[in-house]
Amino acid sequence: MNGGTRLLILPLALSPLLPFAVFRANRIAEAEPRSLVAALGGGGAALAVAGLAAMIGALVLARRAQVRTVVAAALVVAILLAMGWAAARLTAGGPPQVRVGPGAGFWVALVSAGLLVVDARARLHPRPAMRLAIVAVAVAIGAAILWSGALSQLSIMQEYGNRSASFWREGARHLWLAFGSFAAAMLAGVPLGIGLTRARRASAPVLGLLTMLQTIPSMALFGMLIAPLAWIAANVPAAHALGIRGIGAAPAFAALFLYSLLPIVANTVVGLTGVPRSVTEAADGMGLTRRQRLTSVDVPLALPVIVSAARIVLVQNIGMATVGALIGAGGFGTFVFQGIGQTATDLILLGALPTVALAFATSAVLDALIGMLPGTAR
């Protein structure tokens, strides 16, 4: 067992000492902590502690990363199911406005188990196809748990039940903001990066301007874009017909697009200028034109660097799209800021957790795709 595993097992072993759940008389009432015994009952708590001890023992004794990965993943599932069981038990026979959410003990156990999964998976050194399979299995297990109704009494699921239609509508908007601005930035940034490798004198001022844009706080940039976009919407009928407004999705989309340009342009320049001179000289010796060399030699060799930038940008956009809800752009941030305004923690989580899960899954998929590129298979 490595040192990182030991550090993660310690908080996992101590988690039963912390409150496992929190009880609220209604969605905005003060949280009342519930211990593992109070949440699961004496027999349930004993079973949970025994199962936790058995899994910790398996993690300590396991020598193969595959075994540790499976045990840690099973532990994550068990912790989630235990929380669903606690919620069902604590809400049984109570009024419909009662809310039960995760406590500190749950979060410590879940985060520790999740990090154990990540640590064990990293030590497997799986091939890209296997990494994609792991992501698919994780998504399938998560969907099965939600579909089964095992967590239906949790307060966050009750918030979802009250807003299921708007949840999927805002989710679609969030995806459009994040992925749409990413696609636009790729279409603009890669050709711009290619152009800067041809016009070296323009490289420094252009990258300097993009760096300056990157330093502007997101809320400030959203605000700076409201006035020009409002003027365009008022004076250009076609723009208004396309949905461009001073507030809403347009300034959020534009801001995400601008934030995305620097990593894409800079990595395109780095990737193309990093192509070995011997390779370019060999291509020239074969009689390839500049365009043929670009498409057949330079871009394929620079592609891993460009896609690495794409991964950073897309994960960044998924997170930053949340802030766009403050100017009426929609997305999962709508629930986050509604929850803040209403002091409703579970409503905040309804917006935050899907964003985090989407960012993690996207990062894992793109990381696997990078590994599939020629010369980067891992």
Q: Which domains does the chain have, with CATH numbers?
A: 3-125 (no CATH), 164-372 (1.10.3720.10)
Q: What is the pLDDT of residue 39?
A: 93
12: nearest Cα among 65, 71, 66: 71
Q: What is the pLDDT of residue 351?
A: 93
How many helical (H) and strand (E) elements, i.e. helices and strands, does the chain have?
A: 16, 3
State mean pLDDT over 39-50: 94
Q: What is the pLDDT of residue 184?
A: 94
Q: Is 375's pLDDT higher than 60? A: no
Q: Is 374's pLDDT higher than 70? A: no
Reported confidence tier of residue 344, pLDDT bands at 50, 70, 90? confident
324: nearest Cα among 215, 178, 212: 178
Q: What is the pLDDT of residue 334?
A: 93
The single-letter DSSP state of residue 30 is P
Q: What is the pLDDT of residues 48-104, one digit of tens each?
A: 999 999 999 998 888 888 888 899 999 999 999 999 999 999 998 888 889 999 999
Beta-ladder partners of 22: 33, 101
The mean pLDDT value of the chain amounts to 87
314: nearest Cα among 369, 276, 273: 369
Q: Is 377's pLDDT higher than 60? A: no
**pTM attached to this predicted model:** 0.86
Reported confidence tier of residue 335, pLDDT bands at 50, 70, 90? very high
- Residue with the bigger pLDDT between 295 and 340: it is 340
Q: Are 70 and 76 in contact (CB under 8 A)?
A: no
Reported confidence tier of residue 318, pLDDT bands at 50, 70, 90? very high
State mean pLDDT over 286-295: 80
The alpha carbon of residue 15 and the mean position of all alpha carbons in its chain are separated, in whole angstroms, by 26
